[in-house]
Amino acid sequence: MPAILLFGYYLIGCVPGPAVDCNTAPDELLILPGARDIQKQTLDDQQQVVYVLPRDYSPDDAVKAISKQLAQRGWEPAEESFVFPGMQTSRVEGWGSYTEGGTRRVYQWWSEWQNPIGETAAYILEYDCTLSDEECSDVRVSVTEIPTDHFEHRQKRGDNDDEPNDK
């Protein structure tokens, strides 16, 4: 399944909702230095932070900073998705890309991390460049915290949308 479909799945928290309190937000919702346009929200049992990094912040440096900070906090990176078993994360596949509108190439990196009690954090980093002159946008970061019991609650409610639709 292309990573772009995961972006839509994880952005479920981007609909208007109550703000996430900075003082009580889970520590896996990392906001890197220099971030701007920070949006924090929650939907049902998921919390999410979306922000933009300055253009001079290298996408690879952002991945390294996130990886280092999460590892220091005891989070383990996944080579295969916890949410969608069988899918390899960008830790294995590297940056993915696709062409959009024939004028831009969109680059995307995603990974999931899990802490010792089974909570999952899904990170997606994305930027795009023009095909003509390789002018690139700032890096957009989206991180979603998925509690241990998230999928159990969805099954009890009769919600069977855990599987992304890649058709």
Q: What is the pTM of this model?
A: 0.75
d(CA 66, CA 116): 18
CA separation, residue 76 to residues 3, 80, 82, 152 (Å): 20, 12, 11, 22
Q: How far apart are CA 57 and CA 17, in angstroms?
A: 29
Total number of domains constituting the chain:
1
Residue-range definition of the domain harbouring residue 81: 3-157
Is 165 a domain residue?
no
Predicted pLDDT at 151: 52
* pLDDT at position 26: 62
Would residue 118 count as lying in a domain? yes
Does residue 76 sit within a domain? yes
Q: What is the pLDDT of residue 44?
A: 75
Write out the chain's pLDDT in tens, 167 residues. Answer: 344 434 444 443 333 334 444 445 566 788 999 999 999 988 777 889 999 998 888 999 999 999 999 999 999 999 998 878 899 999 998 999 999 999 999 999 999 999 888 889 999 999 999 999 889 999 999 999 987 776 554 444 455 444 444 43
| pLDDT of 133 | 86
Task: With residue 123 as reference, give the H or E element that holds it.
Answer: strand 120-130
Rounded to whole angstroms, how far apart are CA atoms 75 and 115? 4
